Amino acid sequence: MNIKKSVINTFERVGIDYKMLQELKGDIEVRNWITGVPCVVTPLIAECIKWVYMTQLAYEQGNHSTKVSDFDRVRYFILEQDKNAWSVCID
């Protein structure tokens, strides 16, 4: 998986261990946190989806410490890498 430098910088800034996650083999089933609809993704995409959900919850609870540009960059990385995961879990 080819990851742009801007995305790598964001992963490093927000604490997503992309190197380790890329090395893991196999897929993971994740579920949309509202609808419960499942989809199968790589470990890195699963972590990105989890991060988006947790960051959104924190934001809704008043924690605005994450830059909107970092939040959007992780979301659009999911879209770029796995359109199905985007449509099931993010969109």
Mean pLDDT of the chain, nearest integer: 96
Gap between the Cα atoms of 80 and 83, Å rounded: 7
Name the DSSP letter for residue 86. Answer: I
- At residue 2, the pLDDT reads 85
Angle between helices 68-81 and 43-60 (to 10 degrees): 150
- pLDDT greater than 80 at residue 51: yes
Gap between the Cα atoms of 88 and 33, Å rounded: 10
Domain extent listing, the chain = 5-90
Gap between the Cα atoms of 61 and 36, Å rounded: 22
pLDDT tens across 20-35, in order? 999 999 999 999 999 9
Gap between the Cα atoms of 39 and 31, Å rounded: 6
